Structure 1
């Protein structure tokens, strides 16, 4: 299915947080060793570093051991590169590895840093964060009463982690609102990356919450299952929902895109080291059977989700609908160190088939549809004769016509409460009508 030019490693394209769904991949450390040998050591700067280290040890008000000073120096080096590079101590490295399996502890949110504040990139479906109503774009200004401004991302993540069932209070700032507190309970997060169902006969809904190692395979099974549920007939339309998908494993994103493409480039990356030069193309197999496709994105769609949306948009395979995506187009590679530590280092940028870099720009939808709250107007609905208990039947055998108030409240169709999804379904129906004409 995959046709990369170089397959020595799979870098990650996930956001710079460890609380939810980031993915990781190992890249041989020899690449960076070779690169560093090409440049001479900055002797003057190293002398200054040693001098500063010596002055702190001898003059600081409290004694500090060498290990603490050196680890803080390493963290400082990485924190000033970009928001997604980090020094991972043993626990953070272990936590990052756990997330690729789809089960980890925490609240279920992807976070980053903006203007020294912790910002929610996206809540993950069916987690304490999403159930509590946390939204993409929320700023976390306090954790259990402690301000977050200026603290590192890893430190914020450590504060939000904890024993399953333990309480935590987040103080949030949301656009247009005063700061407010939200009380949650931590949980073991078990993320199901793929969900699917038929919205109506012939029209399918495929939700990818994040890209884990097995997501490509799960999407293939979901497509087959929806066809079976549609009485074995090919679907007339499909909604691929990538909203609030924070990214994940590059390989899985390529596999998902390939399920909808039969040829051409999917994504390529550019960087300074050899293993950062990757290129992936689609094969001729078509698990989707060229079903008409609408892809939903929003500001919480990031990284690997943007790869899929960008590839499908560039190849004109589907209509991209929703709002502009997050705009994370950089690749992070995990470089293991000794003592169970690692570097999470930005090593490349990725590009869509037409050479677009999404970094700090995002994917613009073909059709912009903002999120909206749906309310049903029942003001004109009144109780009718056919609603009354013990009413007489129609003497001529005509069909009774009760009010539809109860029918509306009993609706469980996701498109009835999701404006963007409803618009996507309407577009697919319009496309189907056009094809029949």
Structure 2
């Protein structure tokens, strides 16, 4: 199973499970055997000389800690710490998975776990919010992508490892925790009180924005997201013929690669979706669209922002390259590497960066992100209209129109949408324009 999620810190976890970055999972049963791809790689290259000076230095530091540290330390702990540091030093996405983290890996794809509902990483010694998950305590509490968590209850975060901070944020459902937040544009740190809960993530939500215009929201890519999307589209079609669709991938940190392929395939009837390149043969992958599309051939607007990463970027990049939809919003996160889960024992593994992935046109979005076709920043809209002005309808004895088209409620709904979600309001307007300009087009 391949999983894709941004991991901008040393390694990224959800409150509950570990989040993976584009992972190619290796069966646990293979733990005791030598991977033939790895074996071939070693055989092809000259065996490098062991760095004896560095090994002597390691042994010296190990011995100094054993004899001089203020408290006795077990050899096993020192060696595991060394492994953890060795892997974490490679890049922000590689990690040594100990039993709890390895177990959490399995939970992540199920869509149910305990915690606050945040995707997080490390930045300058603080916990950085990548994205709050829809419908969770974090999202309901108003946390936003880019927030820095500087305190957990009364404990400063600086100096903690990410897994320590995550462990402190985890707990039994119903237990409260106070997060101290630093937010760009806000002068002082402020506190947010959240109550831990069991997080059940519905990966796909849908609704009708207006007659003929459907809205699809994918919060993360789980094993069944492709099927859930198909059901959501059928539900929208049962409510009336669709003239256009909005696909919302904002604050979607990624998930299962196959789900991203299936979502892309729902809108594409042919062509390459994504490919990966690495040193090992089993990291050279290509995924192509099939002719079995779930979505109708109507104009499509895809929404992204800085919280859209990995699997989200695969979908946005594929639809953009094939000109199947217009991308609206702000630049995505830029997570374009692939991690492979290499089991070591029955309960330990290494998550190792082994490849990069590319959009159909050959773009690597690593540290670049997907650039939207139309940039729309998140904004707040306030009504400046002077409500005291008199209109014709306010005059006594005014003539009745007699040709009301019933759009009064629609206009009011538009106003509420502009105030509650300006980017979605603009996406709907763009979708209407595409329908007017290309009523018979198969492309958004």
Instruction: Tell me the TM-score normalised to structure 1 length.
Output: 0.88
Distance of 2:295 and 2:58 partners within structure 1: 57
Q: Aligned-pair distance for 1:240?
A: 0.3
1:152 aligned residue (151, 161, 182): 161
- 2:228 match: 218
Q: Aligned-pair distance for 1:315?
A: 1.0
1:10 aligns with 2:2: yes
2:184 aligned residue (170, 175, 178): 175
Larger CA deviation: 240-249 vs 43-52: 43-52
1:365 aligns with 2:365: no
Within-5 A mapping of 1:37-436: 39-40=47-48, 42=50, 44=52, 45-177=54-186, 178-230=188-240, 233=241, 235-338=242-345, 340-377=347-384, 379-381=386-388, 414=417, 417-436=420-439
Structure 1's consecutive aligned runs of 4 or more residues displaced over 6 angstroms after TM superposition are 382-387, 394-401, 404-413
Given that 2:114 and 2:197 are in contact with CA atoms closer than 8 Å, whether structure 1 keeps it comes out as yes
Q: Point out where structure 1 has 5 or more consecutive residues left out of the alignment.
A: 1-8
Distance of 1:332 and 1:166 partners within structure 2: 34
Given that 1:253 and 1:308 are in contact with CA atoms closer than 8 Å, whether structure 2 keeps it comes out as yes
Q: Aligned-pair distance for 1:163?
A: 1.1
Distance 1:412 1:63, change over 3 A: same
Given that 1:257 and 1:311 are in contact with CA atoms closer than 8 Å, whether structure 2 keeps it comes out as yes
Name the count of aligned residue pairs: 419
Larger CA deviation: 124-133 vs 47-56: 47-56
Larger CA deviation: 13-22 vs 176-185: 13-22
Cα deviation code 1:83-138 (max 9, x no counterpart): 22112221122122211100001111111122332211111100010000000011
Distance of 1:272 and 1:33 partners within structure 2: 9
Superposed CA RMSD:
2.9
Q: Aligned-pair distance for 1:312?
A: 0.7
Distance of 2:226 and 2:439 partners within structure 1: 32
Distance 1:385 1:436, change over 3 A: closer
Three-state SS of the structure 1 residue aligned to 2:110 is coil
Given that 1:378 and 1:405 are in contact with CA atoms closer than 8 Å, whether structure 2 keeps it comes out as no
Q: Point out where structure 2 has 5 or more consecutive residues left out of the alignment.
A: none
Given that 2:13 and 2:121 are in contact with CA atoms closer than 8 Å, whether structure 1 keeps it comes out as no
